[in-house]
Amino acid sequence: MEYSTLQSLRYAYQPKVPKMLRAGVREISVSEGKATESASDEERIRELFPKTFGQKELYFGSKGKKLKVQKQVVGVILSGGQAPGGHNVIAGLYDALKETDPDSILLGFKGGPSGLLEDNYITLTADTISKYRNTGGFDMIGSGRTKLETEEQFMVVGEVAKKHGMNAIVIIGGDDSNTNAAVLAEYFAEHEIPCQVIGCPKTIDGDLKNDDIETSFGFDTATKTYSELIGNIMRDANSAKKYWHFIKLMGRSASHIALECALQTHPNICLISEEIEKNGTNLNTIADTIADSVVKRAAQGFNFGVVIIPEGLIEFVPEVKKLIEEINETLAKFGERFSMLPSWDERLGFLTASLSVESMKVFNMLPLDIQEQLLMDRDPHGNVQVSKIETEKLLSKIVANRLQELKQEGKYSGKFNYLHHFFGYEGRAAFPSNFDADYCYSLGYTACLLINAGCTGYMSYVKNLASGVDEWAAGGMPITKMMDIERRGGKDKPVIRKALVDLGGKPFKEFSRHRAKWASETCFHYPGAIQYFGPEELADATTITLRLEAEE
């Protein structure tokens, strides 16, 4: 006997699309806006992207010039970590290509950018797509973190494009992947390779956000998934009444996930990395803030609570940030030599000679396990792998020491038992929410429109997302508009500027308004599981962050 499951029911879900896209590819027109500049460092960005810098904003709708409709051969890759909705980007792209011309071909390159370099692909068909519509994960074609950054790589990709007669490549990824898309588009334009490059904004971290990208896809689903888990832990804590839970959440470069989950669940403490950096807050002061909540709650008989910690917090604590920057620079210059040192003492000696006195003091005050984690192999961008730094354990240890001091001073008599959690993979491949399923389908559809419009070096976007789907608006923005120069691996490189939590924005202000009460009282909120069916105000709801930002 066969039973209906969420998986089987999701295959049949028909993503809602904006009213402006319902006319179909052949009836949609494109209009131009003004020429664009870069986020900053304009002279440098213009110099690096002479062929694609300064292109105009594009809008799709009923006005403007009709799109060129002809057979297309397009390659698509998923790049970087998983984000819910990636399959629907491919589905929207596929459907729009087949509307353009039934003979259009979509090649899915397997394993991310390496699939392009190795010419490892499958031809995507209606049958293939049907098995992955509205599902999470990237298992349709897989993903990878290979960077497309060298001229040799670009030459290989150009040859692969030429071999298959591809007129466009769509790169579905985050800020680094889309930076690579911009560089590849510039290379193709400079060498007159007739292959367009289009990007789509993906990352659950929420830091690929600006005036044009209101939210990256996957953020909605991931934060709802994490909030369900946090709510479950809160319910357990409120039942057992004996544990403090230190929960680290994904979000390396920004605290958007932590802030959204705090707005949804009302934890006792939520640390916002951007605020800590702005205020110059050190580790001991952070621990004192948590300890103060523990003491106040213990006085009421509440020896339990929840602390939310952003994954990248450690890099925002001023003295630790300086330490990490110095370590990154040192390993960028002497990494091979450093890795060959056989003993810990020799490594410490090397660091002592390379780091400033202030940074070495900070390094020496950290527990040995945290020291070791700071010296692990860097990621492909030359940065410390913050997901492997157990910040939640570091803070709980410092808090425990502080509480012991207060107990000896007669200022605290409660119990402090703690548990640690890290939520990351749990949210990256979840079934996309209705919002992400709809949003991603429209992003893929719009990517095809940009191809038909003859664009390259553009990112697909869908705006007005806090309104109903009918009111969403689609268009394209030159990727160079989002770029500036950043220090990476000891070198200055062009990158898409990451969006940090706006401390003057409405979401953070809403959090700030309540956090003193949450710190001492039990105000836990239990969001429950993502709803895919039922009233629109529940099943199609966007994040609290997006709704509050739309009110500004």
Q: Give catalytic residue positions.
A: 205
Give the integer Cα–Cα distance in Å for 484 and 308. 31
What residue has token string 């209705």?
434
- The beta-strand segments (E) located in 90-142 are 105-109, 121-123
Token pair, residue 331, equals: 């390993």
The candidate with the shortest Cα–Cα distance to 501, out of 254, 265, 214, is: 254
Burial class (CB in 10 A: 0-12, 13-18, 19+), 551: exposed
Instruction: Please say whether the beta carbons of 77 and 112 come within 8 A.
Output: yes
Q: In 10 A of CB 260, how many CB atoms?
A: 28
Distance separating alpha carbons of residues 507 and 138, to the nearest angstrom: 30
Q: How far from each other are the two terminal CA atoms of the chain, in whole angstroms? A: 53
Asked if 169 and 77 count as a contact pair (C-beta separation under 8 A), the reply is: yes
3-state secondary structure 52-89: CCCCEEEEEECCCEECCCCCCEEEEEEECCCCCCHHHH
- Which pair of tokens denotes residue 38? 């870069």
Separation of alpha carbons 102 and 133, rounded Å: 19
Q: Which of 24, 29, 197, 17 is nearest to 101 (CA)?
A: 24
Q: Secondary structure of the chain: what % helix, strand, coil (to 5)? A: 45, 15, 35
- Measured CA distances, 105 to 54, 77, 138, 188, 398 (Å): 31, 14, 20, 21, 58
- What is the rounded CA–CA span in Å between residue 160 and residue 157? 5
Residue pair 304/238 in contact (Cβ under 8 Å)? The answer is yes
Per the listing, tokens 């040859």 go with 159
Q: For residue 213, what are the contacts with CB-CB under 8 A and spacing of at least 6?
A: 201, 459, 461, 477, 482
d(CA 412, CA 417): 14
Contacts of 55 (CB under 8 A, 6+ apart): 35, 36, 455, 457, 458, 478, 480
Say which DSSP state 433 is in: P
List the Cα angle 316/321/326 in 5-degree steps: 160
Element (H, E) at 219: helix 219-240
